[in-house]
Amino acid sequence: MSAIEHPASTTALDTTAPRGAWGDTLHSLSRSGTFLVGSTIVLFWIACAIFGQHFTPYDPLASDILNSLAPPSGEHWFGTDQLGRDVFSRVIVGSRDILTVAPLATLLATIAGTTLGLLTGYFRGILDEIVSRFLEAFMAIPVVIKALLIIVAIGTSKLTVIIVIGIAFTPIIARTVRSAVLAERELDYVAAAQLRHESAFHTMFVEILPNVLPPILVETTVRLGYAIFAVATLSFLGFGIQPPSPDWALSISTNYGLIGGGYWWTVLFDGFAIASVVVGVNLVADGVHGAFND
């Protein structure tokens, strides 16, 4: 398994919605089939992450060596793995870690990237040049390579993965926000705030930020899909979520060698789960992008 590298940016500046158009945007989202389907998929897995352990037929961590590698049946709907653990129970509960780590990493990237984008877009000049050149150099390194280098240096944990993925995606969001801020900075309301001698902090975070939220929201939803892939890749390589978690990618890493023996069920359902949640997030992102461009 390998992470799909992100494009330089997937958000165009025309995603900036007219001021006061949030009601229209929400109305567009409520009528978007793409958004509704994606939201249904994502909400299903979120529900599994929160409540799954209460309705799984077996303990996802319990081993039953005498019943190992049993094929799908009425007793074990998705079969069992090499330790005799129920695959269905593990798939349901396995959404918990990835749907905690990836959103938190994306949130960290959004906060850091938005702050950098506001600073560089508003102040421009030497600060913009230095920060932009550094971010461009950082973006040239593949996400997984950056992540592995940092994890090897500071160790593996969920917090580490959150920080690593957050740092990796910060430059993309920062560049998108910077572009939006450069356009907003030339508008009359910013000049009026400066004439009122408002502080730079107030102008950036109170005046400009609300008007660049649309491209930020679109970029955030897009990055969430990539973050899920990145977390899954690190777990598959053994540098992300660690045993005994029933994490999907970790389960695939543990069992993929069994495919050659015909035990396809030990990896198929986990792979489908990862694919479905990424598809769901991407559908949500497409719906959000379309709503802001209507």
Q: What is the pLDDT of residue 274?
A: 95
Q: Which domain holds residue 128?
A: 13-293
1 located within any domain: no
Asked if residue 42 belongs to a domain, the reply is yes
Rounded Cα–Cα distance for residues 167 and 106 (Å): 9
Q: Per the domain annotation, does 5 fall within a domain?
A: no
The segments of the chain whose pLDDT lies below 50 read 1-19
pLDDT reported for residue 209 = 94
Q: Angle at Cα 64 formed by Cα 61 and Cα 70, nearest 5°?
A: 105
Q: What is the pLDDT of residue 151?
A: 84
CA distance to 100, 102, 198, per residue, from 173 (Å): 20, 15, 26
Residue 8 inside a domain? The answer is: no
255 falls within a domain: yes
Give the count of domains, the chain: 1
**Whole-number pLDDT of residue 39:** 95
3 domain residue, yes or no:
no
Residue 4 lies in a domain: no
Query: Domain for residue 6, yes or no?
Result: no
pLDDT tens per residue across span 58-105: 999 988 888 899 999 999 999 999 999 999 999 999 999 999 999 999
The enclosing domain of 86 has a CATH number of 1.10.3720.10
Phi, psi values for residue 129, rounded to 5°? -65, -45
Query: Whole-model pTM?
Result: 0.86
In this predicted structure, what is the pLDDT of residue 14? 45
